[in-house]
Each structure stands twice: as C-alpha cells, then as structure tokens.
Chains A and B, each alone.
Chain A
C-alpha cells in the first residue's frame, strides 16, 4: 500500500470518485491550474479537464450557490472554500438553501454536494486562516459535518461524502495535511458517515476528540498509560454532525469518566454538546465531571500568540490525570 499524506489521500479519493462517476465536478478558487493552494486538487484538471475541474472567479457565495444548482440538476459538485475563514460569505446559501432543500420540499429536491474547507490553527498563517468553527455548521439542522484526522480516514470519508445524498461540510485540519503519512489502500474504501472510530479500548476513562487534536490527544493518552497503567478508551469522532451518540454514550457508560479535547473555543461548542449528551444519557454512570480541554473564548490571536491558545499534550495529560483522580 502506498504511504500518503492527507493532501495526497484526499486527492486520491477525489480522483477515484471522478473516474467512477462523471457527475462529480470539482470547483473553487485556484483548484484547477494551480491544483489548489494546498495542492489537494493537484493534477485533477489534467486528468479530467476544465469542464469538470472549474477554476471559478473569486466569490464564495457564488461557488456554493451554483453548486446547489448543479446538485439540484443531478451533478455531484465538490466545492472548495480556500480557507474556512472565507466560508462565511456562503453561509447564507448554506443555512438558507443547502441544508434545508430536502426538508422544505419534503424530499423532492435534494442537494448532494460537498464543501471542502481547510480549517484550524498551528501553521503560522495570516488572520482568518486559523479558526475552528465546526460548531457553526454543526448547529444548522440538515448539515452533515465531517472532520478526518488522518490520511486513511480522510480518503474514506471524502468518498463517503461525495456519495452521500445530503450536503456535507468536509473540514480538513490543515495542520494535519502534511504532518504524517499512512498506508492508504488503492482499492476503494468508503467511510461511514455518522460513525465514530474507537481508536483504542480501555475501562478507566474515555477521551473524545477529532481532527488535528487527535495527535496530541493520542500522545497524551500514551504518556498517561505508560506512567499510570490506566486503561484509556479513545474515540475519534470523525463525524461531528450527526454525532455518533451511541458510541459516545456506550463508552462513557463503561468508563464513567470522560475528557473532551477540541481546538475550538469552549462556549456553545461541540464539546458542550457532548457533555449535554452525557448529561442526558449517562449522568448516573459518571464518577467525575466531564472535562473540556478547549480553546478559549477569545478572538483567535494572530500566530505570534496562537500556539499557547491550542491545547497541548501536557495540558491534555493533566486534564486526564485530574479526571482520573477526581
């Protein structure tokens, strides 16, 4: 199996789906000749032509709005927002149309499309290039929100997103784009939307995270496991919405302790939602308060200060230990 980084893995998934289904169209700013500013769509225009790989004018609302039209008419557009920080220009089209076409027409019209967007911090980028705002999209009913954490699941999930009958926001943690490689099979692999991945089993505590935070989380878990011999269960959420409530509840019901790690600000967030879920479904099994290790409720600082605002391995280790010792 070839070892690919996340950029190459998503590129593989896109190319394979385009080869398999001629209704798949890739579109966005600089996705064609330039191959995308992160090269996720590299070579697609050479392989599939400019009719299927559209270098669009600079207009995010127009990209999503026209993708909705394509989807209504039977195509499967995969639109790129160059950075999630520019995606808010298309929020009106997302909230007002993409997420609700199915509901407002009682299923007669649907918009199977994917919006890909790099997001998250830690890459010394300019303003608006570092935020984690998955909660915006997850909060909108009708939206499916996926966040891969590594090359292999990124490839499997982009394929699943393209084939899904509903609009999907596919958020790519850019800190993980080239951070590591994994074996990614040439043969088709289709991820399961709505399914979390049980990364590691354990009986003493559950750690839940997603995206770029999975790496520091796994390092922290390895450190605590080594120091204390604790059995820690690790869940990679993968799908933010609709969330795999069953996996979360089953795990915490078993372990009785839970830590959630997210890069996004704390209030009104995905971590808050997980805690609310556990309050609904697992309260009487809890032996400690569920801890959130998150970003802070501040405007994401420019990169000079950004690093200390993202949860670190040390902070996650301490959070796990406090929860174990409660």
Chain B
C-alpha cells in the first residue's frame, strides 16, 4: 500500500464586521433593526456593569471578581441568538449573556460579594441558566448531559457551553467534545479565546494553530470567528443552534477576543504582558465597532447614544442601590441546603452553630 492522505481538514473563519466597523456586504445577515439595537444595548449594559463592579471592588464593596470587559460580543450575541428553551452553561466571563438570559442585575454584585443568593434565578424564568462555574472546563460535560436529555425528550433545543482558551487544555474539555460527538448531542461549545489564561499566553497554552481545529479531531463542525464582531458571533451561534435543533449534533466555535482587564481583581497583568498589547486590542473592542456600524446604517445617532448611556447609568445605579439595601442574609441558610431533606445530625449542628453565633456576638 502506498503512503497516502486519508483525511484532510479545513478550519473556516468568519468575520462580518471588521475592527473599524465596516461590514462585508456579502455576509451581512440583515438582522432586523430591533434585534441589532437589542444586542447593542445588552453589550453596553454589560460593559457598564463590569466597570461599576471594578469600582466597587476597589472600594471594598464587593470581593474578588473576573471582569469581562472586551468580551461582551460573544456571550451577548450568543444569548440573543438562543431560544428560551436552550440552556446557557457558562464559565465566569459571560456577564452580558447571563443578563440577556434574565439574570437580575443585582445578582453579579451578590455573587461577587459572597452570597449564594447571587445564583438565584427569578421564579418567572425557565431557569435554563446555570450558575457561574469556576472549575475550568468542568461545565462542558454538563452541557453534554443536558444536550443528551434534550435529545432524549425530543425537545427542539440545545445547550450552549462557554469556556476559555485555557479550558481547552483540560481533560474535561476533550471528554466533553468526544461525548457530544459520539452521542450527536445538541450542544454548541463556545471557547472564548481571550489570549490569556491568567499569565499563560494562548500560544504557550497549546501548539495548535487554532483552537477550532480541536473540534475537528472529534468530528464536529468547527469554526473560528472574530469574537469581537457581534454579527459574526450571532450568525455562527445561530447556524450551530440550527444544526443542533435539526439533529446535526454538536458544533465547536472558537471566538477570538481579548481580556482587556485583569484575570481577576487579584491579578496584575503588568507582570506578564505589555500595555502596548492591551492598547492594540482596545482598537478592536466590540462595542465601538458595532456602534460605528449602527451609525453608518443610520439606525443610531449621537443623541440616541447619549440617551442610552444616561438610561444605563441610572439602571446600574439603581441595581447597586438595591444590592446594597439587601441585608437579610440569614446566617444558617447553608444548613437548609446540605441535603434535600432534614437530617438530625445537621440540625443538631445548626443549633450548635446558632448558639456559637450568639456567644460570639458577645465576644465582640
């Protein structure tokens, strides 16, 4: 037998709106005006919330958190492309997408101020928004199981899982992609390749030329997109969802973006990257280019922008006021949720805890 090629692969790339906000007319998805403005508004709200949280953290009013400034396009566009029946399975840098899915605006503050109440979804929502997931890549497998369940129940829906670039090195990531492909589960995997896993640059995280090609190894349609281009994000996720709904199985999307801020507020990027690099990526951030496009399309102008900024500032202010007015955090709540039913030894420890708490109040 001669040596021969038995398989060949290609990695497609999609960008619709370039860094200057110029659209490729051939690729223009012709989204309706209200959908475009909806995407833009959520991105602006996410940025404003993120920046307010940064301030509050510096003032000691919330704890450590990982900002998502610069990465608004992918999670917001994905969430806007998703249907109500789809599941949002995030990591921890999808603030915008979470808000789109109905997370109360006070929740991020609560979560990052150390209260599980920040994970509570409103009763009215269908609760298909999983809490923030910190253990890198572990959530990818949950999305696979959810996808399997949706398929089993014959629901026309999918699970959308987010992870970072570093996550693609974890075993859980590879196991998830393999399971999803083997089961042909309706899952959309979105890797936010923001170039840095804390201090580890993308090119040292993996020798692979693209992250997208990792999906190809598991025999699933895979694509690299400009993750700062909200239109490309929207189109790619919509196509992947459609495929999933139609029984075409999972998709892997590498969304190329950049973490403009620190990993978390406990991190100092000055130790491992240059501000010149950050400046360069600021030129490509997603909000400005979308605004340029909306303006060129004559569906947005400076007055509308000013009104939106004022409105969103008020909304963020209000959320902070509401968050800081919340005070009724019962100390023994953790005892309520160890198990689904009460257990005598846990209840005995609750009594002991409350007695200790009372006595400790006297110590102070």
Majority SS at the chain A contact face: loop
Spot the interface stretch: B109-117, B293-301, B308-316.
B109-117
CA distance A297 to B343 in the complex (A): 11
Interchain CB contact under 8 A, B115 and A305: yes
Report A-chain residues with C-beta under 8 Å of the C-beta of B264.
126
Report A-chain residues with C-beta under 8 Å of the C-beta of B362.
314
- A30 is contacted by which of B134, B167, B199, B329 (Cβ under 8 Å)? B199
Residue of B nearest to A301 (CB): B334
CB of B351, distance to nearest CB on chain A (Å)? 11
Report A-chain residues with C-beta under 8 Å of the C-beta of B359.
314-315, 318
Interchain CB contact under 8 A, A124 and B114: yes
Report A-chain residues with C-beta under 8 Å of the C-beta of B206.
57
CA distance A86 to B166 in the complex (A): 14
Does any Cβ of A come within 8 Å of B318's Cβ? Answer: no
- A309 is contacted by which of B115, B135, B166, B334 (Cβ under 8 Å)? B334
Does any Cβ of B come within 8 Å of A29's Cβ? Answer: yes
Residue of A nearest to B264 (CB): A126
CB of A243, distance to nearest CB on chain B (Å)? 25
Residue of B nearest to A293 (CB): B356
CA distance A309 to B200 in the complex (A): 35
Instruction: Count residues of A near B (Cβ-Cβ below 8 Å).
Output: 41
Q: A126-B64, A127-B134, A312-B363 are in contact. Are A296 and B200 (CB under 8 A)?
A: no
Instruction: Count residues of B near A (Cβ-Cβ below 8 Å).
Output: 49
CA distance A57 to B197 in the complex (A): 9
Does any Cβ of A come within 8 Å of B266's Cβ? Answer: yes
Residue of A nearest to B345 (CB): A297
Report B-chain residues with C-beta under 8 Å of the C-beta of A296.
334-335, 349, 352-353
Interchain CB contact under 8 A, B338 and A299: yes
Residue of A nearest to B63 (CB): A124
28 A-B pairs in the complex with CB atoms less than 8 angstroms apart = A33-B272, A34-B199, A37-B198, A37-B266, A58-B136, A58-B167, A58-B170, A59-B169, A60-B170, A61-B171, A124-B114, A126-B134, A267-B345, A297-B338, A298-B334, A298-B346, A298-B349, A301-B116, A301-B334, A302-B111, A302-B115, A304-B114, A305-B114, A305-B329, A306-B114, A308-B331, A309-B353, A312-B360
Additional A-B contact list (5), CB under 8 Å, known A32-B199, A57-B206, A126-B65: A57-B205, A58-B169, A59-B170, A127-B132, A306-B114
